[in-house]
Structure 1
Amino acid sequence: MSIMVDCWLPYGDTEVYVSVELESLMEIAELVDVEPEKTATEILTDAIMEPSGQTLESLIEPGVDVAVAVDVYSSPQAVVQALSLLSKMLVEFIVPKDRITILLGNGEFEKENRMLRDAINETPELKEIQIIDHTRNTTNLIDLGETLKGTPVEVNRRYHEAKLKIAIGETRIDYLTGYAGAHSSIVPGLASPKTINEYKRTYFDTDVTPGVIELNPIKEDVLE
């Protein structure tokens, strides 16, 4: 006869009741609240003001036009927070909002991401900034040749022709490139169906693992 143990387990902001066989119960893991060293705003500010390469201010010239690619798989809240902070800094560097364009990289699908677009439109700080949806049906493309592996490179012309290009995206595990993130806003985000199909085709000829970027040929092809 089995002996049952009644347990209340943490589940989000509440608890759920379960009954478990005593021999199967090892222990109950408790959530530990950890305060981050920096707030999200501080982290974003550091990323913008202290990049690994040239600073944002040094890249801004008189009359510069800015294109910001956004990975649509990122959470709307995170995207809005990043865009609001970025636009504020650009305006402080004397870049008017009418010279900033947000491109929502949704190149794998035919329909636009309404949830993300609505979140941006509802943000007062971003209302005067133009938003462009890049989908599989987008025809405003430019042919940039091929990668070393022979993958054709066709991307959004508006983004390519901008004097200052910025990419935004949340880091997450990806089954093709190991990890996805800001670079995903460009490929596959702003790429043509031809480019997307060809780089994904490599998956069947390679041994790639989600969460692993070392020696990942698909990641190298995409970043190129």
Structure 2
Amino acid sequence: MPVVELKYGSSYVEVNIPESSLYAVLNPEDLPGAKDPLQKVKDAIKNPIGSIPLKEMAGGKKNIAILASDISRPSPSHVLVPPIIEELRGAGVSYDDITVVFGLGYHRKHTEEEKKKLVGEEVYSRVKCIDHDINDCVFMGTTTRGTPVEVFRPVAEADLVIATGNLEFHYKAGYSGGDKALLPGVCSKRSIEANHIMMIRPGTMPGKADGNPMREDIEEAGRIANVKFIVNAVLNSRKEIVEVVAGDPIKAHREGTKYIDRMYKRNIKEKVDIVVASCGGFPKDINLYQAQKGLENASYAVKDGGSIILLAECREGLGETTFKEWMLKARSPHDPVQWIQKEFKLGAHKAAVICMVLERVKVYLVSSLDRNLVKDIFLIPVEAAQDALNMALKEYGENAKVLVLPYANSTLPYVEAMI
């Protein structure tokens, strides 16, 4: 009988799976980090995808905004931004005409030390580096899906907007990167909420860009707001730069997603009865809010009416405050799904997406959480993954198919027809 070892908190657990039931064990496969990441960035800028060169684009421009991620994101702005500025300088742009804008979305403002750390001392000392202000936004138009595009004033007033960021799966918008630096990065609360509400629409899922209403709305906002050029880093799980893409905000973005797919997307021919999913241990399973990523990915591999066995220690409980409030006040999994449609709240949105999974499958949770708490949030508490598997196998019979995700937070199983 095959034995699978899975991370749980800071330790490992073993699960015995009958050979006749084991459908597959899916693992991510990191690409190696680049030997010279800075050169990767320079080469990408010099060889843009679907776009004229940046130097040509910047000629004669007097007010250029470079969008950079905030400190909560892994984007290596200190590597991405300096070569962009170098290229702009080569086009005759003065330092005074360049502003780096940190896209905060809903997040807190940075300290000056954090800004310096994000872009590096040299950039910080030579160009203006400012935080996005969610309350100082200018209306620029409305997307066909009805999202008002209200953009931070210095970005709206720029005559060239360059977006930077990193590429990874996004649990509803398909992927990060590209025009996401604009929306939600540097938009108003109204714009962010209007776009985020789309996460409950069909077609929103990780690993899908084209035909994903949330991603397509973001990209339409990017065109309205005049984002002309992107520089995106593809990172592996060690946060090393694997590849860099630059150029047209959509064409270059799609080229970059191919590397993410190669590392983390895994094709399966059919959905299975049972998915055993480990988030990947601490800190990925530090709380249920973080563990949601693993649950979401596992949900794409399980049949309606099937079971997910989620290994997530949750040593810090449920996590984010609003998420916790919504999970605890819900009377049924359908409640948060309804509430989010009436009023979008950051944090609570993850309660809604967890409950969308709970509406169609059973979820056994192996964790350190109190059993009654687990029951209160509509999951089934179990002491050990083996116990849950034995229960599920008994329910689905000897022909049940079991899929294992040892690193569910970063592995996306998909059936070809889904994408």
**TM-score exceeds 0.5:** yes
Task: Give the structure 1 partner of residue 168 of structure 2.
Answer: 172
Distance of aligned partners of 1:97 and 1:202 in 2 relative to their CA distance in 1, 3 Å threshold: same
Paired residue type of 2:102:
L
Q: 1:89 aligns with which of 72, 87, 90?
A: 87
| Letter paired with 1:91 | R
After TM superposition, list the pairs within 5 Å mapping 1:1-224 onto structure 2: 34=32, 36=34, 39-51=36-48, 52-62=50-60, 64-72=62-70, 73-75=72-74, 78-109=76-107, 111-114=108-111, 116-120=114-118, 122-136=120-134, 138-139=135-136, 141-224=137-220
| CA distance 1:121–1:127, change in 2 (3 Å) | farther
Q: CA deviation at 1:58?
A: 1.1
Kept in 2: contact 1:145–1:153 (CA 8 A): yes
In terms of mean alpha carbon deviation, does 113-122 or 82-91 score higher? Answer: 113-122
Q: In 2, distance between residues paired with 1:32 and 1:60?
A: 35
Cα distance change, pair 208–122 in 1 and its aligned pair in 2 (3 A): closer
Q: Is the 2:166–2:177 Cα contact (8 Å) retained in structure 1?
A: yes
Once the two structures are overlaid, the 10-residue window that deviates more, 184-193 or 143-152, is: 143-152
What is the CA RMSD across the aligned residues, in angstroms?
3.1
1:71–1:181: 8 Å Cα contact kept in structure 2? no
Q: Mark the CA change 1:216 to 1:98 in structure 2 (over 3 Å): closer, same or farther.
A: same
TM-score of the two chains, using structure 2 as the length reference: 0.43
CA distance in 1, matches of 2:55, 2:130: 25
Q: Is the 8 A contact 1:176 1:208 kept in 2?
A: yes
| Residue identity in the other structure for 1:100 | I
Equivalent residue of 2:151, what SS? Answer: strand
- How far apart, in 1, do the equivalents of 2:211 and 2:82 lie? 36
The CA distance in 2 between the partners of 1:217 and 1:35, in whole Å, is: 32
Amino acid at match of 1:202: M
Q: Following the alignment from structure 2 to structure 1, what is the Cα–Cα distance between the partners of residues 170 and 30?
A: 27
Matches of 1:162 and 1:19, distance apart in 2: 52
**Shift, 1:106, TM fit:** 0.5
1: distance between equivalents of 2:193 and 2:74?
Answer: 25
